[in-house]
Structure 1
Amino acid sequence: MKQIPACSPNVKSNYLWSDPPDENKWADCVHCGMCLESCPTYEITGQEQHSPRGRVHLMKSVAEGKLEVNEQFADPVFQCLDCRACTTACPADVDVGGLIEEARGQIRQAMPPTGVKGLVSKAFLEGLFPHPARMQTLGGLLKFYQKSGLQKLVRSTGLLRIMPKHLVEMESIMPKIGMPVRKKYKSKGMIPAKGKVKNTVAMLTGCIMDVMFSDINEATINVLTRNGNHVVIPKEQTCCGALHVHAGDRETGRRLAKQNIEAFKDADRVIVNAAGCGCMLKDYPELFREEPEWKEKAEAFSAKVQDISKYLHDTGYEKPKSEIKTRLTYHDACHLAHGQGIRKEPREILLDIPGVEMVNMPNADRCCGSAGIYNLTNPEMAGAVLESKMQNVPEDVEMISMGNPGCMLQMAVGVKKYGRNQRIVHTVQLLDWAYKKDDERGVNTIQSRR
């Protein structure tokens, strides 16, 4: 279906499908350049088309019929990390991230992925991530790979050498696979709170999070119930759709959004422990600009979404008594700091744990290069961004804490690649470990932080 021109009745837009980049999002951009220093790809390339204002100019040019939706346009748009740092830096709050995602939707329809990219898209974005049962099967296979001795055999025989370098790096830091919480608590309608009940919350388990980081999901449940929350895990929930929207598959993103909106319709609060997922859930209304009924539902749903650190900070949590004696630094996941404006809450939680000494990381909110599956689709640029990030990570720390699974995998690659020995941890894990030490010592006194 052709789209009414985005700029003026007298201008023929080259966006030919519905849901094009929104003119209102770029209208306030005056190309002042305040965004340039915030952009990781511009830092590395020094090229205007790989800067936020350059990309905005290209998107506007397509809308004005001056540029076709072709490879010249697609490359800068898909090289963007969608880290949202430019919006934080922009005096006019231009939503470059939203524009990028809308532009990718047009590119995907004009230039559908083919070859290896097409196969990867069909296999993972369509065939795997939206299907929890298949994700659990994948988790089972990965667990077998680790426990059966097959992983040791593959590594010792050098079979990994036939794989691309970035995939070998990812395999080398693969976390230990556990039991998904969706499977563990499948028969339970609710995981009861401990002590005085404050709220009943619903939890997004995520797709990659529940397979690769089920221990973090478990820690999240432990912390929530410890602090007086009944936890519900809706059975009909699915992938948040972030990876699909980032790839330009907005139609699948809308379908997954609708499923999640329905799955969580009875929840008062939706708790998320993955920054990328949380940002996507909050962005659901943007997917339904042309569907008023669903946009209203999406707005009501998004208002209920909270990151675990924000929720604990706002509702109060037990201060642990036991020490986790460590020097650590904190990395701001882009979609937590720039996407949701959450910075102080996780830091305050960490500092409330006795024994934790926090070391400041320069440019802590600089992207690490993960950006969903960007480190797989754009490995060279992701590697360059990671190298820049690791230069800012203090060497005299034992842990690097953060709130996003993609960042955890990418930073683990950086630690290994650059000969560091820091442990990568999720903020909620440290709080859970401190609580467990309290239990071991028999500390039962609850002191809430409000």
Structure 2
Amino acid sequence: MNDEETPARRELPQLIGDCVHCGFCLPTCPTYVLWGEEMDSPRGRINLMDQHVQGTPLSGPMVEHFDRCLGCMACVTACPSGVQYDRMIEMTRADVEREHPRSLPERALRETIFKLFPYPNRLRALRGPLRAYQWTGLDRLVRRSGLLERLSPSLAAMERLAPPLSRAPRLPERVAARGGRRATVGMLTGCVQREFFPGVNAATARVLALEGCDVVIPRAQGCCGALSLHSGREDEAKEFARRTVVAFEPVDVIVVNAAGCGSAMKTYRDLLADDPEWAGRADALSAKTRDLAEFLAELGPRAERRPLPVTVAYHDACHLSHAQGVRSQPRALLAGIPELEVREIADPDICCGSAGTYNLLQPEAAAELGDRKAAGVRATGADLLVAANPGCSMQIATALERQGVRLPVAHTAEVLDASLRGSGTAGLLRDHARSATS
């Protein structure tokens, strides 16, 4: 074991001691629900963490149990003792990345993921070839052949999850408020959101403007570091965090429309707490970060809501409901649209299996969880699935397609946008249907 004094070595023993092994976390843990194995529950993993801080080296099986954790934080919500499992798994994963030598195929896959997804310009370069791949029907041929599945389940998962692509509109650096200005906000555009779901960002900017906000979209912004942070790549996450702090320091409020990104930015104060130069600046950024639904609920409605006669199934993204505690606000925003009905999905606290990079690194478990969530969505009989995270949207849409269902999927911002602009239900469902070429 590496003897370096890490944050985990200093803080983990106290955090581990908070767990009283009551088992309230077990029914909420996706991997325990799937397999019923103690070591694939939060309580079991905490036991392994304790062994490690007591001096036991990180073995392959031990790391496998940590890798199988989705980091969904449902256990944090369920825990009556306030155990900070979210902090514990992040610190443990950082130790894994420092100390545990992974196999060459594992390293290659992880490097591919982390050299691509946190970089919007690299994702943008991928758009052209991917659009051609989809439009020519080559994607259907590859899937029928099963070639990618045989070569690599992770690459096959990556290919299946890619949403159908169209033109990606670019937003200006400033979108002016409609009517009297009520607030000025900065807007995070993200990485996957920016390049694969640009309509969500456009809808977010329009909704904020229609509600009286000047929207500032800094050109200098890049990745917030969420994927790196949640995967134990601590130094990389810190660098992304510092760049994000600099990009958004001039604004008083930052609005985020991707659950994983908002969750990460709200924890910058912890990530950079040991850095005297950045701790205060990181704390200030965390304090002014708001999820879109959270911010709109605080601001209060002003723009007229026009009717949308549609039934929607609302999916709780884990990093929104468990990490940020934002549950009632999206539902209230949707329920405020005339003639729209919100239907609840069974077992809302169980993760859909997306979990950042989880569906790429653990594709079999992710597919099982995706199928469970898709079945829950289908049972609602809703016309539209609404989610607040790009990973969740891709994951559940893919699982629905495996079950022979092509249900339109939209972000909360896009539903609000359709109501505020009066574009109607038909346009909303048409614009958010997965195309026949996907």
For normalisation by structure 1, the TM-score amounts to 0.87
Q: Equivalent of 1:430, from 406, 415, 433?
A: 415
Partner of 1:136: 124
Rate the CA distance shift 1:326–1:80 in 2: closer, same or farther, 3 A.
same
| Higher mean displacement: 226-235 or 281-290 | 281-290
- Whole-Å separation in 1 of the counterparts to 2:112 and 2:67: 20
Q: Equivalent of 1:288, from 267, 272, 276?
A: 272
- Whole-Å separation in 2 of the counterparts to 1:191 and 1:341: 29
Q: Secondary structure at the match of 2:326?
A: coil
Q: Equivalent of 2:18, from 28, 31, 38?
A: 28
| Higher mean displacement: 15-24 or 32-41 | 15-24
Answer yes or no: is the 8 Å Cα contact 1:203–1:233 preserved in 2. Answer: yes
Give per-residue Cα distances to partners, 1:253-304, cap 9 Å, x unaligned. Answer: 0110011011111110111000011001111122224223322221111001
Give per-residue Cα distances to partners, 1:299-328, cap 9 Å, x unaligned. Answer: 111001000011111102235442221112
- Whole-Å separation in 1 of the counterparts to 2:218 and 2:277: 23
Give 1:400's aligned amino acid.
L
Pairwise CA distance, 1:134:
2.0
1:138-177, aligned counterparts within 5 Å?
138-146=126-134, 149-150=135-136, 152-156=137-141, 161-164=146-149, 167-168=155-156, 171-172=159-160, 174-177=162-165
Answer yes or no: is the 8 Å Cα contact 1:35–1:89 preserved in 2. Answer: yes
Give 1:137's aligned amino acid.
A
Partner of 1:48: 38
- Whole-Å separation in 2 of the counterparts to 1:68 and 1:392: 41
| Higher mean displacement: 161-170 or 27-36 | 161-170
Matched, 1:102 2:81: no
Q: Secondary structure at the match of 1:99?
A: helix
Partner of 1:71: 60
Q: Secondary structure at the match of 1:413?
A: helix
Give per-residue Cα distances to partners, 1:39-82, cap 9 Å, x unaligned. Answer: 110111111111101111111111112x2112122111110000
Q: Equivalent of 1:419, from 394, 404, 415?
A: 404
Matched, 1:329 2:313: yes
Rate the CA distance shift 1:173–1:83 in 2: closer, same or farther, 3 A.
closer
Answer yes or no: is the 8 Å Cα contact 1:136–1:180 preserved in 2. Answer: no
Partner of 2:429: none
Rate the CA distance shift 1:261–1:433 in 2: closer, same or farther, 3 A.
same
Give per-residue Cα distances to partners, 1:3-32, cap 9 Å, x unaligned. Answer: xxxxxxxxxx86645232622322211111
1:115-264, aligned counterparts within 5 Å?
115-125=104-114, 127-146=115-134, 149-150=135-136, 152-156=137-141, 161-164=146-149, 167-168=155-156, 171-172=159-160, 174-180=162-168, 184-185=170-171, 188-264=172-248
- Whole-Å separation in 2 of the counterparts to 1:177 and 1:376: 20
Unaligned runs of 5+ in 2: 426-438
Measured on the aligned residues, the alpha-carbon RMSD in Å equals: 2.2
Answer yes or no: is the 8 Å Cα contact 1:15–1:62 preserved in 2. Answer: no
**What is the aligned residue count?**
419
Answer yes or no: is the 8 Å Cα contact 1:319–1:353 preserved in 2. Answer: no
Answer yes or no: is the 8 Å Cα contact 2:317–2:392 preserved in 1. Answer: yes
For normalisation by structure 2, the TM-score amounts to 0.90
Q: Equivalent of 2:295, from 307, 311, 316?
A: 311
Answer yes or no: is the 8 Å Cα contact 1:319–1:352 preserved in 2. Answer: no
- Whole-Å separation in 1 of the counterparts to 2:97 and 2:390: 26
- Whole-Å separation in 2 of the counterparts to 1:166 and 1:106: 24
Answer yes or no: is the 8 Å Cα contact 2:120–2:195 preserved in 1. Answer: no
Answer yes or no: is the 8 Å Cα contact 1:15–1:106 preserved in 2. Answer: no
Percent pairwise identity: 36
Partner of 2:100: 111
Partner of 1:367: 351
Give 1:19's aligned amino acid.
P
Q: Secondary structure at the match of 1:359?
A: strand
- Whole-Å separation in 2 of the counterparts to 1:256 and 1:170: 23
- Whole-Å separation in 1 of the counterparts to 2:157 and 2:227: 21
Matched, 1:301 2:290: no
Unaligned runs of 5+ in 1: 1-12, 441-450
Partner of 1:88: 77
- Whole-Å separation in 1 of the counterparts to 2:110 and 2:43: 29
| Higher mean displacement: 282-291 or 78-87 | 282-291
